[in-house]
Structure 1
Amino acid sequence: MLILKPKFDFEVSVEMEITPSVAKADEQEIKDFEVYYGKKKVKLSELFEIKKEGDEAKLVLEGDFSKVKWVGTRMDEGEIVVKGNIGDHCGAYMTGGKIVVEGNALDWLGAEMKGGEIIVKGNARNYVGCAYYGDMTGMSGGKITVDGNVGNYIGEKMGGGEIEIKGSAGDFIGTEMKDGVIVIHGDCGFVGGDMKGGTIKIKGNFELVPGFKEVEDGFEGDVNAGGKGKVVKIA
């Protein structure tokens, strides 16, 4: 297990593509692991207090990591526990393992992830499980759970997997969605624009785009895009 704690309050963002596999390296390799602090490439030991306990593929981040981006990118094993807030792109492209954020997450949580699990016990911002600009497919596997509220563009271009929001969400939920499941326990704004497949389940209030028709078990659309997606009201 590897425990990291910031040595000071970061003035600029930290680009840190780190996964639990780093915890299996020797201590000197960990200290020399290179990250970007703003435009400057620095060693991990310049920014963080480092404590290594055994060789388990587990990474524990203690403190405020809200300016630290790309944590868990392409992660395929092990566990990351964030004892605070986390920055943009957490869990992007991940294929396996588990990330638990005890605070809040910023934008692009689980973007284009293919497997594994992400749990956020606070709130998350925009673009959860989305595709990056110019890409055709967002999240295609795994599960993202947010215990609090989220922002806009949740599950845009989603191709599989599951997103569960226990609070409320903003607008443009499931835009261009192809497959998978989005569950929102609270309220949200507009849902299903250009939706082609998959299912959106909503407990609270929501707004449908015009291209949906009512069917026996909910609404189907977006017919303007030839879609067969489902929006379902749940108890």
Structure 2
Amino acid sequence: MLIIKPKFQFDVHVEAELTPELAEMDLKDVLSFEVYYGKFVKKLGDLFDVVKEGDEKKLVLQGDFSRVKWIGKELQGGEIVVKGNVGQHCGAYMVDGRIVIEGNADDWLGTEMKGGEIIVKGNAKNRIGCNFWGEMEGMKGGRIMIEGNAGSYIGEKMVDGYIEVKGNAGDFVGTEMKGGVIVIHGSCGYVGWDMRDGEIRIGGSFDIPPSFKRSDDGWIGDVNVNGNGTVKSL
């Protein structure tokens, strides 16, 4: 296991693809691992204090990581625990493993992920489980759980998987959704624009596009794109 702490408050974003594979490396190699501090290439040991405890495939990130991007990118297994806030693109392209964020998460959480589990104890911002710009498919598998509130464009172009928000969410939930399940326990704005397939369940109030047709247990659409998705109340 590696325990990683920022040495100082970052003035610019850090791009650091931190994964549990680092915990299986020699400490000297971990400290030499290259990251970006703004436009400058730095060694991990220049920016972070690192302590190695045993050989468990696990990272514990302690402190403010809200300016650190790409944590858990392409995660293949193991566990990451963030004891604070986390920056953009956390869990992007994730395949397996587990990420637990005890604070809040920034935009692009779990983008295009294929498997594994992400749990956020606080709030998350926009574009959870969606696609990157120009890509045709978003989240393809796995689970994302937000225990607080979330932003807009949750699950855009989602193909499969499960996203659950215990609080409220913003607008455009499930836009161009192609499969999978999104559950919002609170209220949100518009849901399901250009939805092809999948299911959205809402516990509170929400707005439905006029291009959905009423069914016995909810709404079916988006008929503008010959969609067969389902939107229903919890």
TM-score if structure 2 supplies the norm length?
A: 1.00
Deviation at 1:199, TM superposition (A): 0.1
Deviation at 1:216, TM superposition (A): 1.2
Aligned amino acid, residue 193 of structure 2 = G
Q: Which residue of 1 aligns with 2:202?
A: 202
Runs of 4+ in 1 over 2 A off after TM superposition: none
Deviation at 1:55, TM superposition (A): 1.3
Note the 1:180-199 alignment, pairs <5 A.
180-199=180-199
Please state if 1:161 is matched with 2:185: no
Deviation at 1:54, TM superposition (A): 1.1
- After superposition, what is the alpha-carbon deviation per residue over 1:162-210, rounded to whole angstroms, capped at 9, x for unaligned? 0000000000000000000000000000000000000000000000011
Tell me how many residue pairs correspond in the alignment: 234
Aligned amino acid, residue 42 of structure 1 = K
| Cα distance in 2 for residues equivalent to 1:94 and 1:172 | 24
Aligned amino acid, residue 83 of structure 1 = K
Deviation at 1:111, TM superposition (A): 0.2
Deviation at 1:22, TM superposition (A): 0.8
Deviation at 1:19, TM superposition (A): 0.6
| Cα distance in 2 for residues equivalent to 1:201 and 1:140 | 19
Q: Which residue of 1 aligns with 2:211?
A: 211
Q: Which residue of 2 aligns with 1:35?
A: 35
Aligned amino acid, residue 126 of structure 1 = N
Q: Which residue of 2 aligns with 1:151?
A: 151
Please state if 1:142 is matched with 2:137: no
Q: Which residue of 1 aligns with 2:70?
A: 70
Aligned amino acid, residue 156 of structure 1 = E
Q: Which residue of 1 aligns with 2:100?
A: 100
| Cα distance in 1 for residues equivalent to 2:176 and 2:167 | 22
- After superposition, what is the alpha-carbon deviation per residue over 1:62-108, rounded to whole angstroms, capped at 9, x for unaligned? 00000000000000100000000000000000000000000000000
SS at match of 1:208: coil
| Cα distance in 1 for residues equivalent to 2:54 and 2:211 | 56
| Cα distance in 1 for residues equivalent to 2:203 and 2:137 | 26
Deviation at 1:58, TM superposition (A): 0.1
| Cα distance in 1 for residues equivalent to 2:90 and 2:189 | 25
Where does structure 1 lack aligned partners over 5 or more consecutive residues? none
Q: Which residue of 2 aligns with 1:230?
A: 230
Coordinate RMSD, CA, aligned: 0.4
| Cα distance in 2 for residues equivalent to 1:231 and 1:197 | 10
| Cα distance in 2 for residues equivalent to 1:41 and 1:209 | 47
Higher strand share: 1
Q: Which residue of 2 aligns with 1:86?
A: 86
Please state if 1:49 is matched with 2:56: no
